[in-house]
């Protein structure tokens, strides 16, 4: 059908060309009442008559204003020169040269800008994205923490402690005590900020457990059985035996948390502090919880006392170990086990009966000695006690004061009705 249609069109066109171009109109006659007239026109004649050529009318020449043209040209050249001198030069130096020209001329140079901008990312990181290690904050919703309310003050016990402190005039004590069943307690300088020493490891352990709980339903959950590599960057002086082991050995988070509390291991503490996001992340979480005095200024060991706590806020953390809105109940026994494994028992536990259970953590640097924990009496009482002392460098009297104060508090709480 297509070829037939094409054929018909070609025949029609050829016949048209033949008729129009080759056969001009023959003479035709027309008869009217005046006589006979002859017309001899071809199709070309009709076309020319229908479309006569228009004659071009010459335009009138306008009088040119030479002065106006000169002024216009002058200002146009000035504007172009200004653009070329200022704007083009600025764009070349600030955009074209650094973005394009230098790349073209120095394409063989491989600058490792990421290593220059983030020199610690290869060994200090907590996330992995698009083939790059990154150190990012943990942006998660913070659970609430409950405050400790002292219903009635243990006035007699407080007076005894103040009298005891007079025997140690070189010391500056800070004490907080709270008993669970009656809500009785006492405070002596409990809101005064002290160097934390190793007691800072208590909130680090709690934040580790909270991190594990937060990520339990995420794509990449963290668990206590996860392994972490011990590198030289975490190795540090002070307490603990991990500093004497080989690097590039893996340890579980559970093992690291246990030796951080039980042996007060500083190297393990640095590994776990990195795990929870570093110092900035730790301080931010403390602020979110309303613990404004607890803060870290440097990684362990903190021999200069730049990490800070108060007796009240450390006691508040221990109090919330049973708070389901702060610590998932399935993890609270793990924390209690860590605190119960503390090997240094020469402070608040030293003079207590041997069968008394104490879940605690000690702290010891030259200018501060302290202990904080939960004590279970042999008659079913339970109380929180935190005793911190500022002292002359390594003054032995601080140890004796804590031991005597702890025994005094234990006997008075045991006698409560």
Read out DSSP for 78-132?
Answer: HHHHHIIIIIHHHHIIIIIIIIIIHHHHTTT----HHHHH-TTTTTS-SEEETTE
Query: What pTM was estimated for this model as a whole?
Result: 0.66
Nearest to 167 by CA among 411, 400, 366: 400
The CATH number of 152-414 is 3.40.710.10
Q: What is residue 9's predicted lDDT score, i.e. its pLDDT?
A: 54
Nearest to 327 by CA among 224, 218, 209: 209
The values of phi and psi at residue 305, to 5°, are 75, 40
Alpha-carbon span 376 to 358, nearest angstrom: 6
E strand map for 261-381: 308-309, 357-365, 368-376
Number of Cβ atoms within 10 Å of the Cβ of 405 = 27
Q: What is residue 294's predicted lDDT score, i.e. its pLDDT?
A: 94
In the numeric block, which tokens belong to residue 22? 């080759």
Nearest to 228 by CA among 161, 273, 282: 273
Nearest to 154 by CA among 192, 190, 187, 191: 187
pLDDT in tens, 311-344: 999 999 999 998 888 888 888 899 999 999 999 9
Q: What single DSSP character describes residue 347?
A: S
Alpha-carbon span 74 to 80, nearest angstrom: 10
Number of H helices, E strands in the chain: 14, 14
User: Do residues 268 and 242 touch, judged by C-beta distance below 8 A?
Assistant: yes
HSE-CB for 130 with a 13 A CA cutoff: 0
Alpha-carbon span 403 to 380, nearest angstrom: 21
| pLDDT tens per residue across all 417 residues of the chain | 554 555 555 545 555 444 444 444 444 444 444 554 444 444 444 444 545 555 555 555 555 567 777 788 877 887 877 766 666 666 666 666 665 566 666 656 666 666 767 777 666 666 666 667 677 665 555 556 888 999 999 999 999 999 999 999 999 999 999 999 999 999 999 999 999 999 999 999 999 998 888 888 878 888 899 999 999 989 998 888 888 999 899 999 999 999 999 999 999 999 999 999 999 999 999 998 889 999 998 998 888 889 999 999 999 999 999 888 888 888 889 999 999 999 999 999 999 999 899 999 999 999 999 999 999 998 889 999 999 999 999 999 999 999 999 999 999 999 886
DSSP SS3 for 9: helix
In the numeric block, which tokens belong to residue 354? 């041997």
Please enumerate in sequence order all residues whose Cβ is within 8 A of that of 90, keeping only pairs 6 or more positions apart, or say none: none
User: Do residues 339 and 373 touch, judged by C-beta distance below 8 A?
Assistant: yes
Please enumerate in sequence order all residues whose Cβ is within 8 A of that of 394, keeping only pairs 6 or more positions apart, or say none: 366
In the numeric block, which tokens belong to residue 135? 């150190």
Q: What is residue 66's predicted lDDT score, i.e. its pLDDT?
A: 75
The burial of 173, by beta-carbon neighbours within 10 Å (0-12 exposed, 13-18 middle, 19 or more buried), is given as: buried
β-pairing, 382-390 vs 172-179, is antiparallel
Please name the residue that has the structure tokens 């919330």. 320
Sign of the C-alpha dihedral, residues 192, 196, 199, 201?
positive
Q: What is residue 82's predicted lDDT score, i.e. its pLDDT?
A: 73
CA angle 330, 331, 337 (to 5 degrees): 120
């Amino acid at each position: 059908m297509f070829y037939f249609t094409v054929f018909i069109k070609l025949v029609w066109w050829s016949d048209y060309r033949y008729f129009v171009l080759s056969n001009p109109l023959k003479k035709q006659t027309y008869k009217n009442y005046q006589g006979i007239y002859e017309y001899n026109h071809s199709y070309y004649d009709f076309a020319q008559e229908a479309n006569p050529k228009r004659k071009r009318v010459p335009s009138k020449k306008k009088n040119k204003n030479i002065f106006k043209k000169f002024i216009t040209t002058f200002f146009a050249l000035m504007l172009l020169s200004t653009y070329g001198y200022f704007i083009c030069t600025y764009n070349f130096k600030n955009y074209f040269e650094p973005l394009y020209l230098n790349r073209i001329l120095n394409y063989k140079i491989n600058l490792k800008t990421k290593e220059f901008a983030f020199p610690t990312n290869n060994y200090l990181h907590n996330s992995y994205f698009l083939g790059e290690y990154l150190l990012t904050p943990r942006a998660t919703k913070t659970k609430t923490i409950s405050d400790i309310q002292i219903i009635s003050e243990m006035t007699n016990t407080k007076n005894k402690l103040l009298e005891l402190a007079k025997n140690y005039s070189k010391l500056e004590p800070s004490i907080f005590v709270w008993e669970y069943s009656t809500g009785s307690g006492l405070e002596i300088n409990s809101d005064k900020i002290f160097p934390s020493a190793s007691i800072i490891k208590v909130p680090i352990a709690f934040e580790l457990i909270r991190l594990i709980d937060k990520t339990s339903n995420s794509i990449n959950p963290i668990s206590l059985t996860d392994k972490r590599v011990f590198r030289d960057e975490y190795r540090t002086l002070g307490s603990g035996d991990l500093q004497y082991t080989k690097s590039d050995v893996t340890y579980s988070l559970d093992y690291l948390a246990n030796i951080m509390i039980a042996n007060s291991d500083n190297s393990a503490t640095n590994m776990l502090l990195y795990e929870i996001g570093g110092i900035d992340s730790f301080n931010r979480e403390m602020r979110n919880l309303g613990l404004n005095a607890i803060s870290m200024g440097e990684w362990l060991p903190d021999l200069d006392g730049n990490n800070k706590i108060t007796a009240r806020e450390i006691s508040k953390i221990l109090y919330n170990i049973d708070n389901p809105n702060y610590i998932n109940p399935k993890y609270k026994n793990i924390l209690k086990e860590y605190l119960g494994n503390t090997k240094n028992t020469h402070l608040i536990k030293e003079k207590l009966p041997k069968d008394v259970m104490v879940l605690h953590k000690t702290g010891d640097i030259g200018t501060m000695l302290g202990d904080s924990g939960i004590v279970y009496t042999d008659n079913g009482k339970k109380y929180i006690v935190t005793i911190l002392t500022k002292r002359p460098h390594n003054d032995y009297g601080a140890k004796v004061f804590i031991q005597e104060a702890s025994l005094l508090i234990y006997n008075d709480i045991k006698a409560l009705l």
